[in-house]
Structures are given as C-alpha cells and as structure tokens.
C-alpha cells in the first residue's frame, strides 16, 4: 500500500483515476470483496498501462475467483481525459468460451482536472446478447464528480474523490425494457477505484471494496494455474 494518512492530497483527478503501479511491467491486480454479502464472489481486476507511438492505454481484465475472464477493456489516456476504445464480454456455454464485442457510441470515461470542478462523463455500449434469444442490450453510464473525500485502507485514511453514477440498461427483443441503477464510486489517490456501490433494486445492492493488491505472478499462481 503506497498511500498513507500523511500524504498530501493531489489536486488533479488524474492522480485518483490512475495507479502508478500499472505503469510498468505486468501491471497490478486488485481483489475486491462484497461489503455486506459474503455469498457474492470476489471481483479480481488486472490493470496494465501501456505507452507507445499510438498513445497511452489502460487495459483492464476482470477474472472470476475460478480464473475465468469475464470482461476486457481498453481506454486511451491523454492529459485531459480517459476514453473507452473497446469493451469485450466473455462467457462460457456448452460450446466453450464466447466473446461479445460491444459497439461504443459514446466513449468518455473520466475527465482529468481540479477535484473541485464539476465534471460529467458518459459512455454508452451496445451489443447483442447471443446467450439467449438475440437480445439487444444498451448500457449508458454517467459519472458526475462530487468532490474530495477520504477512504480507509488497512486502517489508514487516504485522500479520495467521490463519484455519483447513473446507469441505464435497455433491452429489446419483442418488447422493450429500461432499468436505471444509481450508485457511488470512490477513487483513492494513487490507487484508482477502491469502492463502488450500485443499487440494482430495493432487495439487491452491489457493494464492493478493495481488500488486496497483488502482483500478476500472484494472480497466476493463485487463480490462473489450472483454470479451465
């Protein structure tokens, strides 16, 4: 854990969205656990930052505790913003692993600037869910910066920013349904995402917090070796 309560809070949101440990080697791996429901599985995310002639890119891969990949994304990172370039969903059926490449019609995932500024970003993805009867799915996610806060990791408070989120899920087959989820995200300075809460319904709330940071080699040894 690189941050401590003695660290001066950064003034740019870039220092909260990006973790310097992703900038070299094979990146860093975060394990998030459900805050209030131990029956929910952990979420394991591998973050890597790549610099090149075509730009700077943040790659994120989500794994299940059984070592299966369920989502991959790539963001282009500039001095002023992060922009979603691709997002693929992965699932398994009786025929093996399948990938769904989404179409991105709006791509803004994060704006970099003063933490006391009012910024809002929107990205929208669309895809056909072929796991069932060709359901067209559209997800729009809106992030609004609320300002600075603190978050406690390993008993120590760290500087953080709070984001409010609104996600609209639309599905279309023979009919049309629309669902809206409201939530909160907290990004810690030099950590990135450390906490999120998403209200799916009155009875079902997803709430996850960062509980462990590990190397990619630890991820391989613990989760991927022998994964099917």
pLDDT digits (tens, 9 = 90+) for 90-140: 987 766 678 899 999 999 999 999 998 878 999 999 998 766 667 899 999
More confident residue, 79 or 173: 79
Q: What DSSP string describes 47-88?
A: EEEEEETTEEEEEEEEE-TTS-EEEEEEEEE-SSEEEEEEEE
**Chain centroid offset of residue 153 CA:** 18
Q: Name the residue with tokens 């599905």.
A: 171
Q: How far apart are CA 180 and CA 169, in angstroms?
A: 6
Asked if residue 190 lies in contact with residue 22, where contact means CB atoms within 8 angstroms, the answer is no
pLDDT for 149: 96
Say if residue 54 is exposed, middle or buried (CB neighbours under 10 Å; 0-12, 13-18, 19+). exposed
What number does CATH give the domain 14-224?
Answer: 2.40.360.20
pLDDT-based confidence at residue 210 (cuts at 50, 70, 90): very high
Residues 6+ apart with CB under 8 A from 23: 49, 51
Residues 6+ apart with CB under 8 A from 48: 22, 26, 27, 58, 59, 60
Map out the domains of the chain as residue ranges. Answer: 14-224
pTM: 0.91
pLDDT at 34 over 90: yes
pLDDT for 4: 43
Q: Could you give phi then psi for residue 15, rounded to 5 degrees?
A: -70, -10
The enclosing H or E element of 37 equals none
Average pLDDT, integer, range 47-68: 92
Looking at the DSSP assignment, which residues form a beta bridge with residue 88?
72, 101
The half-sphere exposure of 49 on its side-chain side, counting CA atoms within 13 A, is 14
pLDDT for 42: 98
pLDDT at 202 over 50: yes
pLDDT for 3: 42
pLDDT digits (tens, 9 = 90+) for 135-169: 899 999 999 999 999 999 989 999 999 999 999 99
Instruction: Encode burial over 60-91: b for 16+ CB neighbours within 10 A, e otherwise.
Output: bbbbeeebbbebbbbbbbeeebbbbbbbbbee
């Amino acid at each position: 854990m690189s941050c401590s309560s003695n660290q001066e809070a950064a003034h740019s949101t870039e220092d909260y969205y990006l973790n310097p440990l992703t900038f070299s080697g094979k990146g860093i791996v975060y394990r998030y656990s459900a805050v209030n429901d131990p029956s929910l599985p952990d979420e394991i995310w591998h973050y890597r930052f790549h610099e090149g002639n075509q730009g700077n890119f943040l790659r994120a891969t989500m794994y299940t505790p059984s070592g299966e990949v369920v989502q991959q994304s790539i963001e282009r990172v500039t001095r002023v913003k992060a922009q979603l370039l691709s997002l693929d969903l992965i699932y398994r059926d009786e025929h093996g692993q399948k990938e769904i490449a989404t179409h991105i019609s709006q791509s803004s995932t994060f704006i970099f600037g003063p933490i006391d500024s009012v910024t809002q970003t929107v990205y929208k993805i669309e895809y056909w869910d072929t796991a069932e009867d060709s359901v067209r799915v559209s997800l729009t996610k809106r992030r609004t910066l609320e300002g600075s806060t603190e978050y406690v990791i390993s008993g120590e408070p760290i500087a953080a920013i709070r984001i409010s989120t609104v996600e609209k899920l639309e599905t279309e087959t023979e009919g049309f349904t629309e669902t809206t989820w409201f939530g909160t995200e907290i990004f810690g300075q030099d950590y990135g995402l450390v906490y999120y809460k998403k209200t799916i319904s009155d009875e079902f709330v997803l709430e996850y917090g960062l509980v462990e940071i590990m190397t990619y080699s630890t991820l391989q040894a613990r989760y991927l070796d022998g994964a099917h």
